[in-house]
Amino acid sequence: MSERTESQIQERANAPSGLFPAMLALGAGGLCIGTGEFAPMSLLPDLAQGTHVSVPAAGGYISAYAAGVVIGAPMIAVAAARLPRKALLMILLLIALLGYACSAAAWSYTSMLTARFIAGLPHGAWYGVAALVAASMVPAGQKARYIGYVMLGLAVANVAGVPLVTWAGQSLGWRVSFMIVSAGLVATGVLVSLFIPEVAADKKSSPLKELGALRRPQVLMTFAVASVGFAGMFAVYSFITPALTEVSGFNMAAVPLILVLWGVGMVTGNIIGGRLADRALIPAIYGMLVWNLIMLVLFALVAQWKFPALIALFLLGNGFALVPALQSHMMNIAGDAQTLASSLTHSAFNISNALGAAFGGLAIAAGGSWISTGWVGAAFAVIALVLMYLSVHITRRSQF
């Protein structure tokens, strides 16, 4: 089998103060990094004014962060293949802290662009390494569940972190928003130092072996699934404000609360998805992809009405259940290249973000309504299902 055998899995690490504080530390990092990723999207006009550029030009700050994620995840994973996991987590927090401190001090377009790129570099590696650490502390049958708990930080960021930091940035100045994220990263560093066990890197790991994951067809196919599997969700999310105000008929003031509802859907989906993946991983992935397909179609059909739109958005948020399942699957098929494969998943999610926004924008520019992004997302979901079938087929063939 290409799935990792029990002999390949390291012995369970014992958290010094118990599992709950350790998971709290990992989740806190996810909360800070997730908040720092999404909050600037809501503050673009403020960032544009503060760095003396137009709002469209300030969109480059979002692209710079995404570029940092896509480049940083594999680069850091390969370079740090032999570092102990706890030390690597602390280094990633320091890089993120540097990025956000520079963001708070930025004075021009170039300085902000550079700061956002630096802030994005540790994003994918953090979630990837945190998932590995979480998996190392629990039995194999609970791995996906606890990977899901790591990702809860990102889901909670959309419920609480982003609204709070956005409010602070709008009320007290955009620099304050980056200062809050920086303070959160410092607090996370304290939690990691106190509660995360010493987890050695895989003794068989090396930069060359990590890069060897890129020669595995099933790894590349799973990367492709993750790269398009969330594009539908991001196609809708990227244009959700005009969809809610101009099609569904909500007031602008209601949009933040509706996005909290979406975030609550992400939290519940994340918890449920991890449990389903532990029971039957591959069927769970198929089921979640089908769920996303159905919910994206539902959004396109009913979002013109207020109450059905709310239901559709909550159910779309549940599609976040796919994250721990795909993360667990990638770790299973990665062999000795655990750090790279685990981090690549999050590079793929940012590719999904770019694809969803780009193709959603093309549909609208071609004359589609603001909710036509649901149909765009449905098309991506179909592609993801096909890619997942090919991935499983390749994996099965490699077993013989």
| Most confident segment among 210-214, 234-238, 363-367 | 363-367
Q: Is the pLDDT of residue 323 over 70?
A: yes
User: Which CATH number is 14-201 given?
Assistant: 1.20.1250.20
Apex CA 270: angle with CA 242 and CA 157, to 5°?
A: 55
Q: Give the percent of the chain with pLDDT over 90.
A: 32
> What tokens appear for 230 in the block?
């969330």
The DSSP letter of residue 216 is -
pLDDT at 132: 84
82 CB neighbour count, 10 Å cutoff: 15
pLDDT at 384: 93
Return the domain boundaries, the chain.
Answer: 14-201, 204-400
Task: Tell which residue, 232, 208, 197, 225, has the closest CA to residue 333.
Answer: 225
Q: Is the pLDDT of residue 324 over 70?
A: yes
Per residue, the 3-state secondary structure of 202-262, as one string, reads: CCCCCHHHHHHHHHCHHHHHHHHHHHHHCHHHHHHHHCHHHHHHHHHCCCHHHHHHHHHHH
pLDDT at 63: 80
Q: Average pLDDT, stretch 342-360? A: 81
Are the CB atoms for 377 and 240 separated by under 8 Å? Answer: no
pLDDT at 76: 86
Alpha-carbon gap, residue 130 to 84, rounded angstroms: 12
What architecture does CATH give domain 204-400?
A: Up-down Bundle (1.20)
Mean pLDDT of the chain: 85
Q: Is the pLDDT of residue 216 over 70?
A: yes
Q: Is the pLDDT of residue 331 over 70?
A: yes
